[in-house]
Amino acid sequence: MTDIIKIWTVQDIAVLNKLLMGETYFPDLEKSSYFNNFPEELRKGNQDLYSFLLSTSNRLNQFNSNGLVFAFSKIINLEEPEYKNYVKPGSIDSIEEFQQFIADNQSAIKSIWDDLSVPGKVILELMIDLNSFYFLPIDINDYQCLMPPINLMGGLITIEDINDILDCIKSGHFSYGHIIPSKVAQLHLPVIFPDQLIGAYPVFKVSK
């Protein structure tokens, strides 16, 4: 099974323009409109989560990035006997497939997608080699469990669950299905190189 896949990210149009000019895009936490638009009472906690992901990525990749690119892929569940309970990020190969993927997984991604699909943004189709970096893949539901304010949902989620997710991230392993498994993987790129850009598309809303 190939480790070269297509993934999808929503970025400012300025990022697209930079890549089209042949420039490498280096994300920067301090310039992130997504995180800076959080309400004041949630901003510090979400920036702390982002900083944890960033420091982990830099440590594992021996990189010195100031930010991360958040991207989406599907989750492949490898059912062959030698891959018991093994999952990995999978390719979404066209904008039509990506649109359908988002529509089919609204319960997992809609709240995040609504915040991303705003004017001034563009969807980027990227080609990556999963062996080129530690991308810290995480089930979108696991990630949302970490977003403050953390809600243990009346005991459905435990502190042990939260610690297990954090341990997976620290080690670079895929954090998958600790709570309610979804089909959406969130990946974290320390950089986008111009030759990774395959296409660019307008953002779209997901109907309820």
pLDDT in tens, 187-201: 999 999 999 999 999
Q: How does DSSP classify residue 134? A: -
Name which residue leads in pLDDT, 22 or 48.
22
> What residues form DSSP beta bridges with 104?
none
Distance CA 54, CA 169 (A): 11
Q: So what's the pLDDT on residue 82? A: 53
Q: How many residues in total does the chain contain?
A: 208
Token pair 């949630």 is found at 42
Range(s) of the domain holding residue 137:
4-202
Of 53, 64, 71, 68, the closest CA to residue 190 belongs to 68
Number of Cβ within a 10 Å radius of residue 185: 26
User: Residue 114 in contact with residue 203, Cβ under 8 Å?
Assistant: no
Domain-located, residue 74: yes
Q: Which two tokens stand for residue 102?
A: 């988002």
Q: Is residue 208 situated within a structural domain? A: no
Number of domains in the chain: 1
Q: What is the C-alpha to C-alpha distance for residues 9 and 122, in angstroms, rounded to an integer? A: 8
Cα separation of the two ends of the chain: 35
19 pLDDT tier (thresholds 50, 70, 90) = very high
Evaluate whether residue 181 is within a structural domain: yes
Q: Determine, yes or no, domain membership for 113.
A: yes
| Residue of higher predicted confidence among 22 and 177 | 22
Residue 30 lies in a domain: yes
Judge contact between 117 and 165, C-beta under 8 A. no
d(CA 164, CA 189): 22
Structure tokens at 190: 């320390």
pTM, entire model: 0.91
According to DSSP, the residues that pair with 129 across neighbouring strands are 4
Evaluate whether residue 207 is within a structural domain: no
163 belongs to a structural domain? yes
| pLDDT tens, residue by residue, 30-76 | 777 776 677 776 667 778 899 999 999 999 999 999 999 999 999 99
Q: How many CA atoms lie within 13 A of 168 on its CB side?
A: 20
Answer yes or no: is 173 within a domain.
Answer: yes
Residue 124 backbone class (left: φ over 0; alpha: ψ -120 to 50; beta: rest): beta
